[in-house]
Amino acid sequence: MLTTTQEPTAVSEISVHDPQDGTFIASVPRATLADVEAALSKAVAAREIARDLSTYRRTKILRKTAELVDARREEFATTIAREGVKTIREARKEVFRCVETFRFSAEEAHRLNGQTLPFDQRPGSENRVGYFVREPVGIIVAITPFNDPLNLVAHKVGPALAAGNAVILKPDHATPLSALLLARALADAGLPSDVLQVLVGYGREIGTPLISDPRVRMVSFTGGRETGEKILRRMGLKKVSMELGGNCPTIVLNDADLDSAVPECVSGAFWAAGQNCLHVQRLLVHDDIYDQFASRFLTATRAYQLGNKLDETTDMGPMINEAAALRVETNVAEALQAGARLLTGGSREGNVYTPTVLEHVPSSTSLYREEIYGPVTILERFTGLDEAIAAANGVAFGLHAAIFTRDLFSAFSAVRRLECGSVMVNGSTDYRDDSMPFGGVKGSGIGREGVPFAVLEMSEPKVVCFNLNGDAVSSRN
C-alpha cells in the first residue's frame, strides 16, 4: 500500500519512491527549461561526434555495455523492482532482455548497409552509376514509460547509437534510476560525453520544448495514445516513432491445448500488474470450452501471489501509484454498473489492485474499448471464428493479437484477417522478441521498433549518383 510519507526534497530535485510502500529511494536533479537548452546545444556538437564514430567503435561500445549490464544484473534488477512495479523475478527477465537488446544493436551497427542502384535502367542515364548509403538522423529525443524502465530505454538508445545518432533521453520521472544506471554503463563502455544525455523531469515542463525544437530530427515515444497525439500536434516536421499501447485480444478455439493456453494467458494478463501494452485484456473463448477454460483460468488467477516485490515467491506487485489503481477501479465499477459480472478480484488497497476477471462486459464500456493498463481481463464467449475476429478487430487499437488452435487453416485465417502489428499463434499476446518488428496499426502507433527495424527508422538513405559521360568526367595521368 502506498503511503504519503516523503523525504524532504528540494524543488530542483525529484524524489523517487518505491510504489510498494512509499519508501524513499533517491533524489535526482529535476530538469528545467535551461537544462533543455543546454542539452540541445550540447547535442548539436555531439551529433557530429556520434556520426563520426566508426562502425568498429560503435560496435565495441554497444557490446561492452551489454557485458557491463550483464555483470551488474542483480543491481539493475533490484533497481527496476524497487523503483517500479515489477517483482524481482520479472525484473531479472527485463535485465536479460536489455542485455540482448544491446547485443542485437551491436550486430546491427555492422549491417547498416547501402546498395548499388541501376540508374542505366532509364533511357538517357546509360552513363550514370551510383548507390545509396544510410546516414544518421542527427538528434533523437527518446521518451520512455515506467513499466519497462530499462529495456524500453535500451530499445531506443541502442539502435540510435548503432545508427550514429545523438540522443536526449527523458525517462518517466517515477522510474529514472534504471535509465541513469544504463547511462553510466554506456559511459563506462566508452561512449563519448554528451552523445547520450538524460533529462529527468515532468513532461508538462520540459516535454514541448524538447520535442518542438527544430534541432531535434526525430522523436521516439512509448506511452499513452492521448500523450502521443499531443506530441504529434506539437513536434513540427520531423521523423517520429510511436508505440501507443493496445487492447490485446486472445482467441481460444475449441481445439486449443488448454494446458498451454491457460498459463500463457494468466501470465500475459497479470505480468507487471497488467501495466503492459501487450497485456491480455480480452480473452475470446469458444463456447464449447468456455466453462472449462474459465474454471482453470480463475483457479490460476486466484493462486497468484501478491506481496513484497523483492520476495522470490511474489507473482505480482502494485500499480505505479494510487491514481492509477483508482482509474482501474473506476473502469471496473463502470463495467459492473453496465451489466458486467465480476468473477474474481475487483478489490483495491491503496495502489494494489487484485488480479481481476470479468465476463459479460458491454462493448460500449471503457474497460472493453480502451487500454485498461492494469490487472484486469475480460472473458467473452463466441461460437465461430468469424465472430471472434470481428470482436477482436472491433476496437481502435491494433498492437498484438493471439490465437490458440491446433488447426492450421484457422490459424492462417486469423493471421490474415486480424488487424494488428503481430499475431501470436499458440502463445498469448504478451510475447515479444527484441529483434522482431514491434508496433501496431490504428491507434496503437506509428512505425516499428525492434532493433533492426529501429535502426532503419533512425537513419536516412542518401543517394549518390555519378554521371560518367565523356564531357562530365576528366582524368589525370
Among residues 83, 108, 243, 371, the one annotated as catalytic is: 243
Q: Where are the beta strands (DSSP E) in 18-125?
A: 24-29, 115-117
Helix (H, G, I), strand (E, B) or coil at 265: helix
Q: Which residues contact 459 (CB under 8 A, 6 or more apart)?
A: 112, 134, 135, 136, 137, 163, 164
243 catalytic residue (yes or no): yes
The residue behind cell 483508482 is 326
Within 10 A of 292 (CB to CB), how many other CB atoms are there? 13
Indicate the DSSP class of residue 110: T
Among residues 98, 248, 265, 277, the one annotated as catalytic is: 277
What's the sign of the alpha-carbon dihedral 133, 137, 138, 144?
negative
Contact assessment for residue 114 and residue 133, using Cβ atoms and an 8 Å cutoff:
yes
| 465 beta partners | 130
Q: Which residues contact 318 (CB under 8 A, 6 or more apart)?
A: 1, 2, 19, 20, 85, 273, 309, 325, 350, 351, 352
Distance between CA atoms of 347 and 375, rounded to whole angstroms?
11
98 catalytic residue (yes or no): no
Contact assessment for residue 316 and residue 302, using Cβ atoms and an 8 Å cutoff:
no
Q: Are strands 445-446 and 115-117 parallel, antiparallel or unpaired?
A: unpaired
C-alpha cell, 443: 491507434
What is the b/e burial string over 159-185, where b = at least 16 CB atoms within 10 angstroms of the residue's CB?
A: bbbbbbbbbbbbbbbbbbbbbbbbbeb
Q: HSE on the CB side for 165, CA within 13 Å?
A: 33
Return the HEC string of 155-175.
Answer: HHHHHHHHCCCEEEEECCCCC
| 378 beta partners | 282, 358
Q: Alpha-carbon Rg of the chain, whole angstroms?
A: 24
Indicate the DSSP class of residue 271: G
Distance between CA atoms of 405 and 185, rounded to whole angstroms?
44
Catalytic residues: 243, 277
